[in-house]
Structure 1
Amino acid sequence: MSQQEPSFEHDIRPLFRSEDIEAMSGLFDLSSYQDVRSNADKIYEELSDGSMPCDEAWPAERVQLFESWINTGYLR
């Protein structure tokens, strides 16, 4: 795996704060690889339009990192 290919455990999971995980727990578990992968398109849509997380939008670099994770095959 190159540095260009983000993984869930190393790059994506740390982006979600405990309050984000708690806020979304009724829909899916942001700390779970399988849940995030299964809902990645919806999560990406909300991250990119700034509606998630609910307290403030992620910086563009984080949204791009999440998109890169999707585009490189959802590495674990």
Structure 2
Amino acid sequence: MPTPDRGDKLGFERDIKPLFREKDRNAMLAYFDLFDHADVAEHADAIIGSLLSGHMPCDGTWSEAELERLQRWIDMGKPA
């Protein structure tokens, strides 16, 4: 969803990082850090693929709005 103060621009710290829970981060730390912009940007295609296939997170699914937000961030070039 667009934020009122920045229009349709998304940022990692404000818009993407909060999508990941501490337990998601802990589960993935052996591979990459879901709280780190560079790691999420590098693995973004795999992350969205896992979310869309239902493999991530293992205890539920993201809402359509959350999936759209992540995809839009990817499409924007994964800004910090």
- The corresponding residue for 1:46 is 50
C-alpha deviations, 1:15-67, integer Å up to 9, x for none? Answer: 11100000111111000000000000000101112211111011111011000
* TM-score normalised per structure 1: 0.92
Q: How many residues align?
A: 76
Structure whose alpha-carbon radius of gyration is higher: 2
Match of 2:25 among 21, 26, 40: 21
> Percent sequence identity over matched residues?
38
Give the TM-score, by structure 2 length: 0.88
1:31 and 2:40 correspond = no
Distance in 1, matches of 2:7 and 2:78, equals: 14
Is 1:71–2:75 an aligned residue pair? yes
- Show the counterpart of 1:9: 13
Residue segments in structure 2 that go unaligned for 5+ positions in a row: none
Which structure exhibits the higher relative contact order, with contacts defined as CA atoms closer than 8 Å and separated by 6 or more residues? 1
Runs of 4+ in 1 over 4 A off after TM superposition: none
Residue aligned with 2:32, SS: coil
Unpaired segments ≥5 residues, structure 1: none
Cα RMSD after superposing both structures: 1.3
